[in-house]
Structure 1
């Protein structure tokens, strides 16, 4: 335990300490902690930002980001095109930082991806602070390392997908809840509700999955009377609900003519977008639930569902490397604290992160259409449990050998009364130093049978640490075995695991502490080396997954369809020769029309919107099935000379609007805009014939 200062600091010094604790490590941090944390953050920055100029921009969201950067209407409502004719099929909150970055730095791929990098590094730093306050510096460093080297985290933080923002905001919410529990203050609980509400703006209902866990942990562990805790929970929940729904209510109150049509809805209703298209349709075969457009479920990816979703050959190597260790840590962490006061903070941490993991695993197992990158949200929970579990097992391991020391060999402790906090000394300081007098009472005298039983229990528990290392290293071999992707690292992992386990297992009274530390370091390295190999592979476009579904390694549909070459990255301001020729033709023949052209579904418009910020009427939205515009609306736009050209594709379903184009517009020869053949695309001129 860290030594507690006998003399409390002055008021001015306490103020400086409080400010330092908010933005840096405590003054009594171990000498190795600051350089170690700096190294982890440096590794995270390199992994997430390497080759950012060729980042994997999501085709759909990348187009929207450029449009949002050029129009306030498109920015606030998430317009897919600069004219704001139709929105994206998500809430726009996660893309606001990306759009601001593009507005500041210009339409560059790196500018769109930069906020994701910053958010990823901030998540690592924030998780370190949260775990440190819960389980100490050793656990915090392990948690930061595990999160940094989680393959799906590396792949996702180099893309433009909402889950990076979601993860950061939920980790911030967990930190606020932890502070609310340990300080008995209301403001951190309100802050927790705000973070959850902002996370809702990033990924909607998925942000609410943590609320039952947060509520249960607070009600079970927080100090105070049950009624007081319940009332505070209701207030925090009301804040979370209000912040979650503010965009929905603004969009609902805005006249339809003054905002984009909401993609994914059959009735242009924001509640249908959130609770239907992005909600109930993910759990039902009835894709039209709560106003979602027909065909919603069919348009999503298949597979990645069921009880084994987290450990299948595709998803498992992305995130599940520390899953057995996390489960073991949760079970033993809660069991070891049995009999402690209700307000035990160590047990609360295991309940918090274990509940986070269990809730997401349950929902993923019963929902449909899960992308592998969805699981990035459980990476902080796995990392925190891995760090907290290893710290717990290490303390039990050391307790066995401390108990075997002779009385004269034991380190001297300060007198108990010298450690009591003086009046006015900020209570939070004691938490940061790792000790709370409320939850660490003086041990009562025990008779010899009780001492013997405790000594026997300690003797058994010390073997959990090497066993956990061996289990985690063995599990890494299981996850990598189907592909043998980093098979050259497997012998390294085995040798490190053997050195660590044997070194820890064979420790004796005369063993040098340096030998023990070396064995522990080797064991931890054994658990990290294989997932690190998968994580680093994401820097190669061949092993980074599709732009619409980032993942690491030789797995997934994208890799299987392109086994010998990397998929082409779709950046901003980088039109292909075909798209450049089409844009040049449309711009040259434009005669003041509002829209450059109309396209059949976002699939047709995406490359044009990424290349040039122009009003484009996207018929059918993301799936091509959204009923906007109607055939009459399309005809009125043509008659009013606001639209002339339409681009149709055979890759998306026919709608009344596309039928109107085929019957009222003239097909243009592909050679007119630089192509030898249309392929799957056909350009039409809808100008009235004179």
Structure 2
């Protein structure tokens, strides 16, 4: 990738001379760059893959991954069980790599989690390349390190949740956009649209949040006439729309009998799944928008919403450690480049990443509830702004000591202020829990060393002392979040498998604050599940489905343990109207379903009431248990 020498270069004089020109030659790599990048990537790989054999498989998605690995129907349509009777409540794109990995390497927990690790490391590497082209080696390495040590990134990249794939693809899209702006070529802009479309396959409408920012950056910065830029933006947007909607359209034209019922919908319509259940129902008070299953919006509410969502005591420690620095960098990065040519690339980078951060912050604030791991998508923006901002501040600081400096006023103090502000902010973020209390004095001392060392620089101060002071300042910024990030390697501080997060926060931690929750991966059934599976397998006589279950909650452990056709009644929430009473009765009459497993932890529906009134309850002692707890097994063989 062609680099852009600019005011953010590690060699300030050369960087400042190149600030006003658009270069086509790559900047020579400093001797330290490749070893340093390799070290960062090694750290990322270790953090993301540690204990991968016991990775936090999401119960719902983990079940689907195993089913998708064994059936082409389930694979393409995102079937929850091997028969593909009902789909998951998301598009399947993010889980295709996981399913392929399980198909290649076998039904192991580590095989399901491996693609997430690879995607996480690729994101770090790709962000380094993008930031290097925009802001130079120093900024790129800083951004890569910040992203690597972001707590929510470490926690999420060790799980099986779509946001890892979403983040990678959107970062790739930002890189393509940057190349399109720099080279004035159409192909990179089209590639940007393709990456966004693929990101849509991972997390649907959330992938489109960056489109207004991307369009604005290209229209404002790219060379050429305004009409030419507008036409190209529209063309790229059309490509993004086409790739985004490709799976939806294929499912839409596929006869309903030839595909799974779409979970989360009352009408089996893929547009309802995307734009209703996973779209409008997340905003406002209408949980049945476009035919979405009623009640889904309320079931998603987590309390993480509002203008302060990013800095509350749960979400803040996951991602917000460098938020003040990022905001400061975005504001000053734009302000200090006011008056430059419209095509100024340095300013464009701050607009791009600052816009990415701002749009997501607004959307998270107005939605009806967000999991903490949703914020992983803003981690690259925070990292890029931190790296680019520190490089900019360093450039102005170095310019203070250059003969004939063009530095304006007290700009050189921005570097010192950034170090001090970030260290103080660490105290604010960590204060509610004091989880890393022993690291706080370390951060303060490092910040003092950095600020004092930089402040006291004189004309004869050796460069190594200046670099040491700067390194101390950067270490002060990262030492506390690094502590939170590393904590997620302990299952006690890794959050729930359904909501990974780092540190002593969240419902999972307060529920299991003494002992980490036990997580079961693929092919790891509990004693109860083993007994039930043995009983059902022994008494199965040609039925298509091993059993029918009330909601995915009941089927998940069985599907992760053994890939079998299971009729999941009601889908994820238990409220999806599939199968109907008539359909269930017909399946029982045709001897395709014999057993049904109901639970008291999900609301009763017409189909579950039919089971209770038409089928015989089986005592738990029949399959080796003293009690069935919240589950009840029924035999419908006697039904006529």
- Which TM class, normalised by the smaller chain length? over 0.9
- Counterpart for residue 467 of structure 1: 417
Distance in 1 separating the partners of 2:120 and 2:230: 34
Cα shift at 1:265: 0.2
- 2:601 counterpart of 1:659: no
- Counterpart for residue 388 of structure 1: 388
- 2:109 counterpart of 1:103: no
Q: Classify the secondary structure of the residue corresponding to 1:648.
A: strand
Q: Classify the secondary structure of the residue corresponding to 1:569.
A: coil
Distance in 2 separating the partners of 1:350 and 1:674: 63
2:588 and 2:639 in contact (8 A); partners too = no
State TM-score, norm by structure 2. Answer: 0.96
Distance in 1 separating the partners of 2:253 and 2:584: 25
Cα shift at 1:512: 1.1
State TM-score, norm by structure 1. Answer: 0.89
Q: What whole-Å deviation, never above 9, does each CA across 1:285-324 have from its counterpart, x for those lacking one?
A: 1101111001111211320000000000000000000000
Distance in 1 separating the partners of 2:45 and 2:515: 27
Aligned residue among 499, 513, 521 for 2:471: 521
Distance in 2 separating the partners of 1:28 and 1:209: 35
- 2:597 counterpart of 1:647: yes
- Counterpart for residue 36 of structure 2: 36
Moved over 2 A (4+): 1-4
- Counterpart for residue 562 of structure 2: 612
- Counterpart for residue 210 of structure 2: 210
Distance in 2 separating the partners of 1:398 and 1:27: 19
Q: Classify the secondary structure of the residue corresponding to 2:400.
A: helix
Q: Classify the secondary structure of the residue corresponding to 1:351.
A: helix
Q: Classify the secondary structure of the residue corresponding to 2:275.
A: helix
Aligned residue among 440, 444, 447 for 1:490: 440
* TM alignment of 1:244-643, pairs within 5 A: 244-403=244-403, 454=406, 457=408, 459-643=409-593
What is the aligned residue count? 621
Q: What whole-Å deviation, never above 9, does each CA across 1:75-102 have from its counterpart, x for those lacking one?
A: 0000000000000000000000000000
Aligned residue among 650, 653, 678 for 2:628: 678
Distance in 2 separating the partners of 1:276 and 1:315: 26
Cα shift at 1:284: 1.9
Cα shift at 1:27: 7.9
Cα shift at 1:274: 0.1
Distance in 2 separating the partners of 1:298 and 1:475: 33
Distance in 1 separating the partners of 2:227 and 2:322: 38
Cα shift at 1:689: 5.7
Q: What whole-Å deviation, never above 9, does each CA across 1:202-224 have from its counterpart, x for those lacking one?
A: 00000000000000000000000
Q: What whole-Å deviation, never above 9, does each CA across 1:544-574 have from its counterpart, x for those lacking one?
A: 0000000000000110111101011120000
Distance in 2 separating the partners of 1:358 and 1:27: 31
Alpha-carbon RMSD: 1.3
Q: Classify the secondary structure of the residue corresponding to 1:557.
A: helix
* TM alignment of 1:116-131, pairs within 5 A: 116-131=116-131
- Counterpart for residue 14 of structure 1: none
Distance in 2 separating the partners of 1:396 and 1:73: 58
Distance 1:397 1:27, change over 3 A: closer
- Counterpart for residue 224 of structure 1: 224
- Counterpart for residue 421 of structure 1: none
Cα shift at 1:385: 0.1
- Counterpart for residue 4 of structure 2: none
**Structure number, greater radius of gyration:** 1
Q: What whole-Å deviation, never above 9, does each CA across 1:444-496 have from its counterpart, x for those lacking one?
A: xxxxxxx8xx56x2x51111101101001110111001100011111111110
- Which segments of 5 or more consecutive residues in structure 1 lack a partner in the other structure? 5-17, 405-450
2:140 and 2:387 in contact (8 A); partners too = yes
Distance in 2 separating the partners of 1:115 and 1:532: 23
* TM alignment of 1:4-153, pairs within 5 A: 28-153=28-153
- Which segments of 5 or more consecutive residues in structure 2 lack a partner in the other structure? 1-8, 15-23
Q: Classify the secondary structure of the residue corresponding to 2:217.
A: helix
Q: Classify the secondary structure of the residue corresponding to 2:520.
A: coil
Distance in 1 separating the partners of 2:83 and 2:161: 23
Distance in 2 separating the partners of 1:374 and 1:653: 28
Distance in 2 separating the partners of 1:561 and 1:112: 26
2:63 and 2:560 in contact (8 A); partners too = yes
Distance 1:73 1:147, change over 3 A: same
